Structure 1
Amino acid sequence: MSEQGLIEGVFSIERKAKIGTGTTTRRVEQTAMYYAREVDGEKIELQGLNSKNVPFGPVELITKDELLSDYLPMPQLFKEVIGNLRSVQKSVARGDKFRKRGENFTAEYEYANALNLDEQNVRANFGIGLCLLARDEEEKAKKVFDRILGLDTAFSDDHKHLFNEYGIALRKKKLFGQAVDYYRRALDLSNNDENLWYNLARAQFERQDWAACAEALAKCLELAPKHEEGRKMMNHLTKKGLV
């Protein structure tokens, strides 16, 4: 239980799985471990545990009744799981702090500590990628971000700002084509963010793709008619006869 009296703990469930093929096929029982946390409306968030007992991967919603009837509590693991989860969160937070200060090597060390426990942690992966980009290690950064695109959990609304931040970093490095790609990925997660549309327009402006720039600006201004920078850029395009 959490301090608020809500369910929070580690639970297991026995599931049957088929292994082998053809005549060697057989069914075995496997134990799946989950970190469970009660949220609003009698719902439970379930997240699997990795080999180091850290919650990772997609979050599944079930009812409290389903949890209590189908899952077995594992209180002996709760302290370890929570400790590992807090360690990851603290390492990522320290990494973010150092990166914002421009201390990229120290930040990368903290992100690596987080990834040692949770290699699929989206924020830590983004953080390392941004550190590499800041050090002009563009090829290594690209590999990191390609890896991020393979993570199911990367594509949640919570992470749109990370795609946006990476797009800004790419634009500052004059990698405008890649910046456009990442702004578009951010917009796939949330297409009603006027600032994302404006940032996409800026990257398209730098590429001198005036039509695409105007299209992004139109979306920005549709969402926020008083967006000052967006209006200035649109006026500039119109005044110069670029659209």
Structure 2
Amino acid sequence: MSENGKIHDLNGVFSRQRIAKVGTGTTTRRVAQVGYYFVEQVDADLFQVRPLNNNFVPTGDPEEISRDDLLKEYNPEPEMYHKQVLPNMKELQKTLARADRYRKQGNSFSAEMEYTNALKVDELNVRGNFGVGLCLMERGEKERANDIFARLIAMDAPFAGEHKHMFNEFGINLRKSKMIPQAVEYYARALSLSPNDEHLRYNLARAYFDAKEYGKARKELQTSLETNPDFDEAKKFIAYLDKNKLG
């Protein structure tokens, strides 16, 4: 059931058949290709569709479709949902929960192992990628952490609301790990997707400050105050820049 009380009666696994051309010239032929998708209802007439990977879990960024498109182009696969997809999704969540628990306990090696196990099931899993990156930075393994950073910066999913707490922690850890160029790029990427988030701008200003780019830091702080004039942290930061004649 959704937050507004509506029953999401069309959630589950669906298949879709498409006709594709195979071969070239005189050997060209048309073949039917079937894909399987995890579908979630987000509104009365709006659904999010994600493909299933080879491990039968939804992966990648969702595509939004209407109810009419769902009913016209997709066929329900309830048996696959209950016997394969739902159990695998639950197991993936258990693995991630174990990883989070290990990391909170300070056991970064066990946490990384569990996050890696999750990525074996879904290599695009946002929580798993963030988790590995955080474990590596906690241990000071900057080179490996930079590989994770490069993967995350290319994804849209890390900046979704449900991952915001991990996103912020990752960005803060980049800065604390003296990975300043990466931190700047990371927050700038996030702001391209959430331009009105004053806390992201504040964090970007902190990264610019560490890079000694005081003018850019001041500009981000001023923009954050345009969004939220009562943002005390930004006011204090600007006062510090003024006092020390920076930027």
* TM superposition score normalised by structure 2: 0.89
Gaps of 5+ in 2: none
Structure 2 residue corresponding to 1:10, chosen from 13, 23, 33: 13
Question: How many Å separate the matches in 2 of 1:166 and 1:234?
Answer: 24
Greater displacement, 3-12 / 48-57: 3-12
Q: Tell me, yes or no, if structure 1 residue 126 matches structure 2 residue 130.
A: yes
Q: Tell me, yes or no, if structure 1 residue 44 matches structure 2 residue 42.
A: no
* TM superposition score normalised by structure 1: 0.90
Q: Match of 1:213?
A: 217
Question: How many Å separate the matches in 1 of 2:60 and 2:19?
Answer: 21
Q: Which amino acid aligns with 1:113?
A: N
Q: Match of 2:68?
A: 65
Q: Report the Cα offset of residue 110 of structure 1.
A: 1.8
User: Secondary structure of 2:59's partner?
Assistant: strand
Q: Which amino acid aligns with 2:147?
A: K
- Considering only aligned residues, what root-mean-square deviation do their CA atoms show, in Å? 2.3
- Deviation per residue, 1:27-84 (Å, 9 max, x gap): 2110011112222123222211001110111212222233233322212201210111
Question: How many Å separate the matches in 2 of 1:88 and 1:133?
Answer: 23
Structure 2 residue corresponding to 1:101, chosen from 88, 98, 105: 105
Q: Report the Cα offset of residue 168 of structure 1.
A: 0.5
Structure 2 residue corresponding to 1:183, chosen from 176, 187, 210: 187
Q: Report the Cα offset of residue 22 of structure 1.
A: 3.9
Q: Which amino acid aligns with 1:229?
A: E
Q: Tell me, yes or no, if structure 1 residue 174 matches structure 2 residue 178.
A: yes
Q: Match of 1:143?
A: 147
CA separation of 1:220 and 1:5: change in aligned 2, threshold 3 A: closer
Contact 1:53 1:84 in 2 (8 A): yes
Contact 2:8 2:41 in 1 (8 A): no
Question: How many Å separate the matches in 1 of 2:190 and 2:150?
Answer: 15
Q: Report the Cα offset of residue 157 of structure 1.
A: 5.1
Percentage identity across paired residues of the two chains = 47
Structure 1 residue corresponding to 2:197, chosen from 185, 190, 193: 193
Q: Tell me, yes or no, if structure 1 residue 116 matches structure 2 residue 120.
A: yes
Question: How many Å separate the matches in 2 of 1:5 and 1:157?
Answer: 21
Question: How many Å separate the matches in 2 of 1:195 and 1:152?
Answer: 19
Match runs of 1:155-170 below 5 Å: 156=160, 158-170=162-174
State the aligned residue count: 243
CA separation of 1:5 and 1:242: change in aligned 2, threshold 3 A: closer
